[in-house]
Amino acid sequence: MAAPKIFISPAKYVQGADAIGELGKHVYPLGRHALVVGGNNGLQSTRAGRVLSFRENGVTQTEEVFRGESSDAEVTRLVSAAQAANCDVIIACGGGKAIDAVKATAAQLGLPCVVVPTVASNDSPCSSLSVIYNDDGTFNRLQFLGRNPDLVLVDTRIIANAPVRQLVSGMGDALATWYEADASYRSGATNVPGGAITQSALALAQLCRDTLFEFGVGAKLACERHVVTPALERVVEANTLLSGLGFESGSVALAHALSEGFSAIPEAHRHTHGELVAFCLLTQLILEARSHEEFSRVYEFCRAVGLPTTLAQVNAEPGDALRRAAAIAAEPGRPTHNLSFPVSADAIYDAMLAVDAISTL
């Protein structure tokens, strides 16, 4: 029997300017004493609204400063902190790594998980998996948690006051969502929960892409001026909700596999996940021989919002290191092979050089 279709998502998604003032209302049904985990910025930017809304709704909290790495050691430490304080709900206030560590902590404790992203830089908040790193920051594994967050709450005023590079990085991650889901669907690949891909996931992924093309530049301008506009609202939703649902119930392909390959290039480490995914998406589109019109649309979008379109912009150059990145992406079992045709390391390497050459036209 063919795998049945599966679609997964967080139980509740809340988004809006000053939405942090509603946090207590939405947490109350999940737990009464929260462990709140974040870096100093994440804790600080959410504190006023969080504390007030908790007081209004009879929720108490213990704050715990995140130590910076989503590692097994940090998850073990957070599990102990939650047990020591007798917490019955775990909340992340911060960026990707704090969110990943909190999701893993809540899963280990079997407690409800709440995510309050303070940047819109990636598609982690809504998903049922955590990236676990070694203590030195190198990649360890993807941990499948078997459960999505119970609540994701995004305050767009907090996002508007975060660095614009974070928002643009989120657009890079979100831009790849439809192209990777579409490729995976056409090849019959399974998605993160191990099912076939629904039409719903494809439609959401397509809306994600179209939202970026329509409102991406406007959202960037709004973030630069720290104002909340309808364009910013739509792009935050695309980066956080649509991208999250799209990649998880859709699936990823070469763009994400190659971005992991870039971890072999130390100089590329200073780039965000989304920046690398954007360049790797252009590489995927070249390999897929997408039409000139479609490729140009993605390429020009990247240039318009400031996502990398050349090797120099991801601190890479032709040579052994780049070949290593391509070789990692081509390893058996990588989502590269969700494309419907065989892909070799040489083909990936050549496609990266082809992307790079476009800027010289």
Q: At closest approach, how far in Å is the CB of 49 from Zn ion? A: 28
3-class DSSP state of 336: helix
Of 4-12, 119-127, 145-153, 181-189, the window that binds Zn ion (rule: CB under 5 A) is 119-127
| Closer of 229 and 251 to Zn ion (Cβ) | 251
Helical H runs in 110-264? 156-160, 164-187, 199-224, 230-237, 243-250, 254-261
| Closer of 123 and 288 to Zn ion (Cβ) | 123
Backbone angles phi and psi of 93, in degrees to 5: -125, 95
Q: At closest approach, how far in Å is the CB of 177 from Zn ion? A: 8
Question: Which uninterrupted H or E stretch holds 116?
Answer: strand 113-117
Q: At closest approach, how far in Å is the CB of 56 from Zn ion? A: 36
CA 299 centroid distance within chain: 20
DSSP classification of residue 198: P
Q: How many residues contact Zn ion, by CB under 5 A? A: 2
CA 242 centroid distance within chain: 10
* Tokens encoding 146: 């078997």
Q: At closest approach, how far in Å is the CB of 60 from Zn ion? A: 35
Helices (H) and strands (E) in the chain, counts: 14, 8
| Closer of 10 and 24 to Zn ion (Cβ) | 10
| Closer of 101 and 111 to Zn ion (Cβ) | 101
Of 90-98, 100-108, 172-180, 338-346, the window that binds Zn ion (rule: CB under 5 A) is 172-180
Q: At closest approach, how far in Å is the CB of 86 from Zn ion? A: 35
| Closer of 64 and 123 to Zn ion (Cβ) | 123
Of 53-61, 154-162, 169-177, 321-329, the window that binds Zn ion (rule: CB under 5 A) is 169-177
Which residues is 70 bridged to in the sheet? none
For 300, how many CA atoms within 13 A lie in the half-sphere containing its CB?
8
Which residues is 216 bridged to in the sheet? none
Q: Write the burial class of residue 1 (CB in 10 Å: 0-12 exposed, 13-18 middle, 19+ buried).
A: exposed
Question: What single letter denotes the amino acid at residue 278?
Answer: A
Q: What separation in angstroms does the CA of 131 have from each of 38, 90, 138?
A: 16, 18, 11
Q: What separation in angstroms does the CA of 132 have from each of 30, 71, 95, 107, 269?
A: 26, 5, 14, 13, 16
CB 319 within 8 A of CB 259: no
- Site map (CB under 5 A) of Zn ion, residues 6-25, x = contact: --------------------
- The one among 74, 155, 173, 275 contacting Zn ion by CB under 5 A: 173
| Closer of 49 and 172 to Zn ion (Cβ) | 172
CB 237 within 8 A of CB 297: no
Q: At closest approach, how far in Å is the CB of 65 from Zn ion? A: 26
- Site map (CB under 5 A) of Zn ion, residues 272-311, x = contact: ----------------------------------------
Residue with tokens 């207590």: 24
| CA angle 282–310–210, rounded 5-degree value | 35
| Closer of 20 and 285 to Zn ion (Cβ) | 285
Q: At closest approach, how far in Å is the CB of 87 from Zn ion? A: 29
Q: At closest approach, how far in Å is the CB of 130 from Zn ion? A: 13
Q: At closest approach, how far in Å is the CB of 37 from Zn ion? A: 21
| Closer of 39 and 246 to Zn ion (Cβ) | 246
Q: Give me the residue whose beta carbon is nearest to Zn ion.
A: 173
Residues 216 to 275 in contact with Zn ion, rule: CB under 5 A = none
| Closer of 36 and 174 to Zn ion (Cβ) | 174
Binding interface with Zn ion (CB under 5 A) = 123, 173
